[in-house]
Amino acid sequence: MPNSTYIMVAGVGIGLMDVLLSVGIFAAVTLLIVGVFSQPGRIQRSAEREAAIATGHTDRKTVFESAALRPLMWLLLALGHRLAIPRTKDWIRRKLIAGGNPNYHTPEEYVALSLLTGIALMVVLEALHLVLTGQLSIFLGVVGFVGGVLLSVYQLHDRAAKRVREISKRLPYTLDLISLAMGAGATFTEAAQTVVRENVEDPLNVELKSMLAEIDLGATRRRALQNLAARIPLSALHSIIASIIQAEELGTPLSDVLHDQSALLRQRRWVRAENAAAAAGVKILVPCLLLVMAVMLAVFGPFIVKFIRGDLF
């Protein structure tokens, strides 16, 4: 009895030492980060946010503006600025633009948000493991941190992909509307403004509105169209903009070009649908064969068993 009590007490003592050691390591790392990145806790606004506020939009409300999380977010943001990952930051920048970037995040800010997600998931997993086993797990903490960062990156990629798909679906109809308006005597800018007023929240209309704003601020239509193509990673839109620029250089009626491009997009969509239908017919053969085999086994199974046992005749 004394021996078992001593072992149990020793086990509790070892668990407490692990907890104290982990807390000490966390405090040391926190002090190291504070010592390295000790700067005034003021987060700089991005150029996109400054432009939005200057044009009358309300400022964003994110974790960066939260008074409680401001010190932690400043440390993570400073770490995001110091990380030498230019290709990753450029990829994040392009995905943010393709996804609309409603909160005007910079690549460094999104890196900080990804680190925050990783830390939050790591803390949750460690807390669950501590409650269930009474010990901390370094491996589980690393898995939680990496999983949280990857989850945040995947969410960004998925949001950008969904928005690009919505733009791709709306593109032929928008081209038809612009072509009809131009056929009725409107200019390209007036036709685009008419389309934008129809549904302001549509992703393609949002991009067209940004293009019209650039033209109003003095940019040429060619430059505004090129910027539109740079914001949206859609090959069909790139070819359409190239056709519009070429039509302006050659003097071809722009309404006819837009109508032809819309018809071409619909034709490509029909071809993709036919290819998908043909591929689905081939893919469904395997499940159908499995169902037929299951039915045959269910029907002839008893006879096969009797034949194997010799009781059939």
Q: For residue range 126-143, what is the model confidence (pLDDT) as tens digits?
A: 888 888 887 777 888 888
Rg (CA), the chain: 30
Name every residue whose Cβ is closer than 8 Å to that of residue 167 and which is 6 or more positions away in sequence: 203, 204, 207, 232, 234, 237
Name every residue whose Cβ is closer than 8 Å to that of residue 294 and which is 6 or more positions away in sequence: none
Residue 76 lies in a domain: no
Parent domain of 177? 164-274
Residue 224 lies in a domain: yes
* CATH number, domain with residue 202: 1.20.81
Residue 219 lies in a domain: yes
Residue 247 lies in a domain: yes
Residue 189 lies in a domain: yes
Q: What pLDDT band is residue 151 in, cutting at 50, 70 and 90?
A: very high
Show the tokens assigned to 45.
Answer: 């606004």
Residue 28 lies in a domain: yes
Looking at the predicted structure, is the pLDDT value of residue 13 above 50? no
DSSP code of 80?
H
Distance of CA 147 to the CA centre of its chain: 15
Q: What pLDDT band is residue 106 in, cutting at 50, 70 and 90?
A: confident
How many domains are there within the chain? 2
| CA distances for 261 relative to 17, 34, 236, 242, 267, angstroms | 70, 57, 9, 11, 10
Residue 135 lies in a domain: no
Whether residue 224 contacts residue 209, with contact meaning beta carbons closer than 8 Å, is answered with no
Show the tokens assigned to 295.
Answer: 């039915």
Show the tokens assigned to 231.
Answer: 């914001």
Residue 186 lies in a domain: yes
Whether residue 121 contacts residue 152, with contact meaning beta carbons closer than 8 Å, is answered with no
